[in-house]
Structure 1
Amino acid sequence: MNDKRFLKLFKILSNSGTPMKSEEICEQLDIAPRTLRNDLKKYKSIFLENGVTLISKPGVGYRFDIFDQDLYFRFIQDLIKKETNGQHIIPVYPEERINYLIKSFLSTYNYIKIEDLEEELFVSRSTLTNDLKEVRERLEYYHLDIENKPNYGMKIVGEEFHKRACISKYYFYTDSYDEIILNTEKNENKEIIKKLLYDTITENDFTLTDIGFQNLVMHIMILLMRMDKLTEDNIIESSYKSLEDEKEFRIACLLAEKLENQFKVKFPKKEIYYITIHLLGKKSMQFNDTLLISKETQDLLNYIFEHIKQNFQLDFSQDFELFRFLSLHFQPMMNRLKYGLYIENPLIDKIKNENHLAFEIALYAGSIIKEIKKYDVSVNEVGYVALHFALALERVQEKIKSKNVIVVCARNITCL
């Protein structure tokens, strides 16, 4: 079997949305009609074994009928793995392709041609165009875009901080493509970074949420990976300079010093600010931190509760547990919103589907935050806030006790 010709034939028939005449296929493969007939006869059983029936209609042409999607996609992955000499598997499902495209754009500073992506991903131009539309929508969440330059190709454009946030998301949930793009050698530094971070926060009596810890480790890995892009800005935003008054900035400086000594690098000051923002946005606050809740946060919550009562006829003003949980949640959340630190919520669809009222209340609370603080509250943040309101609504239901009701009509006859 001529594997190379078989792979090309399989690509042609897979990417064609309509039947293809033998003349078209022969032209693309640069073979004679007789050779094509012999090939198709030889390959027919292989197609069947892998979830595909080859349909042939005289005067119409050839097409694939996929009767087993799982077998078909596994077959494609095996073919591509063989084609790339076992280096890595190219994604075949739409969601996998979209993630792969985003990671590919994030991993290079150069332009990528659409023709190269078609060949690499084993898809047609129309399929790739649809995927890129979804890619643009997802990048918009991080204030990033894809720039098209004639004769050069496409690349991601946007601020470095936003690129880092996007990279954190798309590399945090590791899959089989990450080690190729991230570079295996740099992954070996992960354990070193984790130890330095753990030692630093422990020495300073500081706690991070588990996911916050992992995200910060990933942020530092990305920082080291992109050292050639680091610059010391002559003008640093005043909002960043104000971070120097925070305890987290002192911890960030200590961590940066350890990282510099370990990896023989020098961090610009702005990078220390970025680490500070991560610490502020993902620290774990405990119940004994309640006294540290700012008056500003308390006033904001009281204002939100007051307007929820007016619009939903639900009074949470006496729910101290809700007030305490939201106060602890709001402190790091407001820091995330202030500095544009993104957060993922893998349960967002489930929260929306199973807690309609709580989600609506949380959306309303988010609109109040935007009105007062001028911060955009993402749907992921709204989802986490909704969980607090869902628990509060459950407590409200538990307090409602069933009552026996007797209805007596005008003739003193008991009706119910």
Structure 2
Amino acid sequence: MRVIKKQAIIMYSLLNANEPISGLVLAKQSGLSLKTVKKEIDTLNDYLNTVGFQIVSRYGVGYECEILDEKKFSHFAESFKSFYHNHHYFENNQRERVHFIIRRLLTNTGNLFISDLADDCCCSPSIINRDMIEAKALLSTFRLQVKNKTNNGLIVVGNEWDIRLALIYEHKIYKRFPSEIDYDEYDFSRFFLSGLGIYKQLKSLVLEKLKQNNLHMSGLVMGKVAYTIILSITRKAYSDNLELPEFTYTHASLLPSYQAAKEIWESLAATDDVTYTEIDILTLAGVISAYQTYLPSDLNFLEYPEDFYKLADEFLDYFDSFYNIKYFDMISFREDLACNFASLFFKTIYHISVDHDIVSNLYSDGLSTLDYCMILYKFIKEKTSLEASIYDIASFYYIFNEFVTAMNKQIKRRVLVTLRSGYYKAKNLCSNLSTIKTPYDIEFIPAEFSDLFRYNPNDFDFLATNIEAKDLDDSLKSKVLPVFYFRKNIDFVRFINQVNKPKYFRTHEMVAIEDIYYPKDIKNGKDLYDYIAAEVLKSCENLEAFFQEVDERNAILSPERKNQLAVLRSFKDILHQTFLKIIICDKPFRFKDEMIQTIIVYNSRDNNVEHLQFMSRFIARLMHSDELIFTFERMTDYEIVRRVLEESE
């Protein structure tokens, strides 16, 4: 029997009352009808007998607790009040019910029917049947099926290894709602030896053996290794159904983690009288290999380290087909990729997927890092045999973040300093800038001698000069930094700030008032694409290919939809233009299973990496800003967009 929220409110009121409480008062406190209160009390009484009391009705007075066993009652009342204050009762919402059903299915050893689950969850069988659809879908991600046998009820069919992976995942969910009053979950808790302190001991043992064998692992996943060991002990009776990948029998004993796994089991056998087999060692070695954090030196101990570097090189070539990255230093990034490919290789072998909620918690300053992850996912699906899910790519998220940071450090802006009547002033400026840590290449040419130098304006990004604009070529005017003219010294801080904010990265200047559109009667994705083709991007060619790329990108990474806003962009530069368009519909409509009203369509010519990175950061600002409330008056909305984008700079 599970105590759900409405029942918990009734019990809490009665346990804290010094006198009987009328049914009307209980109904008001719990938000139920008087008839439902009576029904819930009858349901509770079937269970409360076992904990030493009952709820009885005194005619004309109300309800109160009648104690049958003082000791049991005191223990229950103390525990229940504590759990109630900590909100650890069963909410009975669909998400909790679904996970409860999954846990019952995974641990059931007898006959389990829909009616049993309905009684446990205090709801109708029709609700359980609806919940079963989601429960089956979640179990299918672990390659498990639910079958309904006529005489035996519901059973889970699948490999014991996949059942253990599902149990570990569900245990994490279960720990969020611990409650000792949920007695029916004893079968689930016992598989994890809860309350015996084994878990902490195992984590310490795993950490000790990993250090001794010079292996590295994040503390976040070390607990999963401990639970793998626990389930190998508590579910030994199910070992006959344990089907492990062929790799376990042929290669696991050659892994660097094999010695650590062997020492862990030997320690357990010596101190806790635990029995184990060679398969237990091999399995643990594979799991450690999947969860461990690889360093470049660790790859040398694997049987085929060159394969992971080859995979990294193939991906870099693939990556370069989207973004021109070959002029960046890729040595560190290549090593990080190889290490993560090694980890992904073992995860796919043992069907260990990244938890969905970890991916949902990822946050990016912009969208570029997530785009890089999605390109990696495309590469894995198109060019490799790795059976990775979209969630598994989350493990690469952080190395792409580091790649972006390292890339920013490598970008060198070429700045030309030329001053009229100021050879020594220009030289002094360059000398001073060279002592300041800047990401710029600073060159100087005295204006008096500029005719003696042959230089192309396109060879540098910015011009620092005191020459008047009317005396400059048109090709140079757009590159001038407005920081001159000072009598003696340059304002170095202002100079650096100007260089750090190049004009073509100022996204708010890319949005003109005519780049905001107000379509009417958009009802679906087809209507949206037709409008974009007819009004927004009518001068562009290859729109069909662009929309196909947009759909492919969104199929892998659905655009974040804050403010009922969707982002449309292709992985490749198909349109050969740089633009940012904002479409504001008159009413929300369903697009990719979400309700949206605002659409941002953007592109960067030649997929310039630096440009895309800055651009995506500004777009993320639009997506998350609380100020993005449109008035459907063009000038006002344009000012709103400009203000939000300027704040993001």
1:9-408 to 2 correspondence within 5 Å? 43-52=23-32, 85=51, 89-173=89-173, 174-175=175-176, 176=178, 180=186, 181-183=188-190, 187-188=195-196, 189-231=198-240, 237=246, 239-286=248-295, 289=298, 294-315=305-326, 318-344=329-355, 346-351=357-362, 356-396=367-407, 399=411, 403-404=461-462
The CA deviation string for residues 218-256 of structure 1, in whole angstroms up to 9 with x for no partner, is 111112111211249899836522212222223222222
Q: TM-score, normalised by structure 2?
A: 0.48
Read off the aligned partner of 2:135 and give its amino acid letter.
Answer: V
Identical pairs, percent: 13
Verify the 8 A CA contact 2:210 2:216 in the aligned structure 1: yes
- Residues in 1 aligned to 2:341 and 2:240: alpha-carbon distance in whole angstroms: 32
Verify the 8 A CA contact 1:201 1:207 in the aligned structure 2: yes
Read off the aligned partner of 1:47 and give its amino acid letter.
Answer: A
**How far has the Cα of 1:355 moved from its partner?**
5.0
The CA deviation string for residues 197-229 of structure 1, in whole angstroms up to 9 with x for no partner, is 334333333332212321111111112111211
Change (3 A) 1:288 1:94: same
- Residues in 1 aligned to 2:291 and 2:243: alpha-carbon distance in whole angstroms: 28
Change (3 A) 1:248 1:319: same
Mark the runs of 5 or more structure 1 residues left unpaired by the alignment: 1-6, 12-40, 55-61, 65-74
**How far has the Cα of 1:272 moved from its partner?**
1.9
- SS of the equivalent of 2:214 reads coil
Verify the 8 A CA contact 1:322 1:392 in the aligned structure 2: yes
CA RMSD of aligned residues (A): 4.1
Q: How many residues align?
A: 361
Mark the runs of 5 or more structure 2 residues left unpaired by the alignment: 8-20, 52-75, 81-88, 416-460, 479-649
Change (3 A) 1:93 1:415: same
Change (3 A) 1:415 1:195: closer
Read off the aligned partner of 2:404 and give its amino acid letter.
Answer: L
- SS of the equivalent of 1:351 reads coil
- Residues in 1 aligned to 2:476 and 2:351: alpha-carbon distance in whole angstroms: 64
- Residues in 2 aligned to 1:125 and 1:43: alpha-carbon distance in whole angstroms: 28
Greater helix fraction, Structure 1 or Structure 2? 1
Change (3 A) 1:185 1:234: closer
**How far has the Cα of 1:163 moved from its partner?**
0.8
Greater strand fraction, Structure 1 or Structure 2? 2
Change (3 A) 1:415 1:233: closer
**How far has the Cα of 1:157 moved from its partner?**
1.2
Verify the 8 A CA contact 2:258 2:281 in the aligned structure 1: yes
Q: TM-score, normalised by structure 1?
A: 0.72
Change (3 A) 1:154 1:232: closer
- Residues in 2 aligned to 1:48 and 1:210: alpha-carbon distance in whole angstroms: 47
Q: Residue in 2 aligned with 1:3?
A: none
Verify the 8 A CA contact 1:325 1:388 in the aligned structure 2: yes
- Residues in 1 aligned to 2:359 and 2:335: alpha-carbon distance in whole angstroms: 23
**How far has the Cα of 1:345 moved from its partner?**
5.2
- Residues in 2 aligned to 1:393 and 1:157: alpha-carbon distance in whole angstroms: 45
- Residues in 2 aligned to 1:347 and 1:392: alpha-carbon distance in whole angstroms: 21
Change (3 A) 1:235 1:337: closer
- Residues in 2 aligned to 1:254 and 1:412: alpha-carbon distance in whole angstroms: 74
- Residues in 2 aligned to 1:63 and 1:98: alpha-carbon distance in whole angstroms: 24
Worse-superposed segment, 134-143 or 309-318:
309-318
Verify the 8 A CA contact 2:106 2:167 in the aligned structure 1: yes
